[in-house]
Amino acid sequence: MSYSKESIKLNNGVYIPSIGFGTSLVTGDECIKVIKMAINVGYRHIDTASAYENEVEIGKAIRQSNVKREDLFITSKVWKDSMGYDNTLRSFENSLKRLDLEYVDLFLIHWPKNGDEQLNIDTWKALERIYKEGKAKAIGVSNFLKHHLEIILNNCNVVPSINQIEFHPGLIRKETIDFCKRNNIVIEAWAPLGKGKMLNNETLVNIAKKYNKSVAQLCLKWCLQNDVIPLPKSENVERMKQNLDLFDFTITKEDMDIINNMEFFAGSDMNPDTFN
Ligand code: A2P
């Protein structure tokens, strides 16, 4: 599989696999099974968060797999109720303990706190410390819009490497994406299939047919061609494999434009300006 060779260089020189595996909503023994399956079919980039309540299981799955720690890219995130300098440091140490790892590859602020810029800055300063101590190879944010990011950039020493946002056909936050590109911040897409809601979209069904690919593959390749790292989720081994099988076709510029200009549709109702 060519997938493992595909990676993107972040603004601090760290390489990140260009497709990740999303793990929200999978917990307990099922989580151990799903993550082992995902690693077995070729995923090397796994995205979790303290809020997903599956870090213990993900740690177990990693140790039960045959893949070396250094060949995996593991992300976790600090949740909204643990923001602020000291709380974030504590929350990070708890994530490391639950994962039973010595470091994570990427650590993110899960959501910005609206109306409390200082809290976002203090949380970021804790991430900078974690990064400088080598306990996270890269740091970034999640669900930050342009205006949230501007505050961080105006008050930080380390520029975030990543911004993970909801991104799928019908939901392109162009202003935020353009800002990130200008500042060398790579975008990761959560819900790249619009939480599965884009799979029956007529425009996408018609385009996917031309390439003899599924709508899911079209959505994921569209992310890659927009330089966005998709984090698809699946509990089904065939669909997991399908979601990695993206490297034998290219979406034409004309079709990219059609998808880029699709009517607004949000797969979730989690708006970064109101979700506090
Ligand atoms: P399943 O776990 O049964 O495969 P998103 O990543 O946007 O949150 O979407 C996740 C949803 O999309 C899940 O319900 C998942 O179901 C489904 N899904 C993931 N990959 C595919 C695929 N290749 N084809 C169809 N459905 C998929």
| Mean pLDDT of the 211-235 span | 98
pLDDT, tens digit, 9 for 90 and up, residues 251-264: 999 999 999 999 99
Residue 90 in any domain: the answer is: yes
Q: Which of 233, 246, 270 should be mutated for ligand 1, with most atoms under 8 A from CB?
A: 233
Residues in a beta bridge with 139 = 107
Is 206 part of a structural domain of the chain? no
**Domain-embedded: residue 98:** yes
103 noted as active-site residue: no
Contact 85, 248 (CB under 8 A): no
Is the beta carbon of 243 within 6 A of some atom in ligand 1?
Answer: yes
pLDDT bracket for residue 1 (50, 70, 90) = very low
pLDDT in tens, 3-31: 445 899 999 999 999 999 999 999 999 99
Is 55 among the domain residues? Answer: yes
Cα–Cα dist 257/132, whole Å: 41
When divided into structural domains, the chain yields a total of: 1
Task: Confirm or reject: Cβ of 241 under 6 Å from ligand 1.
Answer: no
What is the CA(46)–ligand 1 centre distance, in A? 16
Determine the structural domain holding residue 121 and report its residue range.
Answer: 7-194+228-235
Task: Read off the pLDDT of residues 83-121 as tens digits, 9 standing for 90 and up.
Answer: 999 999 999 999 999 999 999 999 999 999 999 999 999
Domain membership flag for residue 246? no
Question: Which of 217, 234, 245, 265 maximizes ligand 1 atoms within 8 Å of its Cβ, making it the mutation to test the pocket?
Answer: 234
Asked if 268 and 191 touch (Cβ cutoff 8 Å), the reply is: yes
Residue 216 maps to a domain: no
Residue 70 located in a structural domain? yes
pTM of the model: 0.96
Q: With a 6 A CB cut-off, is 189 part of the ligand 1 pocket?
A: no
Q: What is the CATH number of the domain that holds 152?
A: 3.20.20.100
Residue 108 lies in a domain: yes
Q: What is the tens place of the pLDDT at every residue in 161-176?
A: 999 999 999 999 999 9
pLDDT at residue number 2? 37
Q: Is any atom of ligand 1 closer than 6 Å to the C-beta of 266? A: no
pLDDT surpasses 90 at 74: yes
